[in-house]
Amino acid sequence: MAPKKTPPAPTVEDAPKGFRVTRDISVGRHPLLVVFPGLNKMETATRHEPNAAKRVKLHEETCIEVVDEDVWMYVAPFDLPKSFRRRWKPVVSPDTDCIVVGSGHLKESPALTLYLDIFHELCHIRQRHDGRELWPDKLSYVRRPTEIEAYQFVVDEARRFGISDGTIRDYLRVEWVDEKDMLELFETLGVADA
């Protein structure tokens, strides 16, 4: 009898079973579950929001705004935070929970990246529902409790299905965070740089 082969470890191209993305959707505003069909039925969604009624509300009332800009994914503020006024002009959504996604990111990024991104941003929507401040003026990005919590959720999810810490570190790296702060975030999340 031949020895069992160990399946290869998931890579950056892989995402959990059941995760789907409507990659060819037009620029504009769409329901969350049109852009990410079946997301609400994933085990991750239940871990993310254990309360079934809150989970339904979160998924039914959150929209995705696809923009023709070179951006990743972010929660649209209800109004423009003072700290943004000189350096960034995000989409503002005063009356709707909205996650903004760059069309290129949606069309071209690996499924795993989109999976981690959407659950990271949904963490921020939940935090906002709980009355938490997403953009505090006096804290660096890597020290914001809301960012640490959202990143920790997706790091734990990635590990749940076998993604290596090296791949997680690659995912966490963003161009607006310098190397010193990036190493601090890795350490905070328990994925210290090798």
- What is d(CA 130, CA 141) in angstroms, rounded to the nearest whole number? 20
Q: Is the dihedral of CA 53, 33, 163, 124 positive or negative?
A: negative
Tens of pLDDT along the chain (194 residues)? 333 333 334 444 578 888 999 999 999 999 999 999 999 999 999 999 999 999 999 999 999 999 998 888 999 887 776 666 566 677 777 788 999 999 999 999 999 999 999 999 999 999 999 988 887 777 787 888 999 999 999 999 999 888 888 889 888 888 778 888 888 888 889 887 65
Beta-carbon contacts of 41 under 8 Å, excluding residues fewer than 6 positions away, are 18
Q: Which residues pair with 98 in a beta bridge?
A: 63
Round to whole Å and give the CA distance between 183 and 160.
Answer: 22
pTM, entire model: 0.86
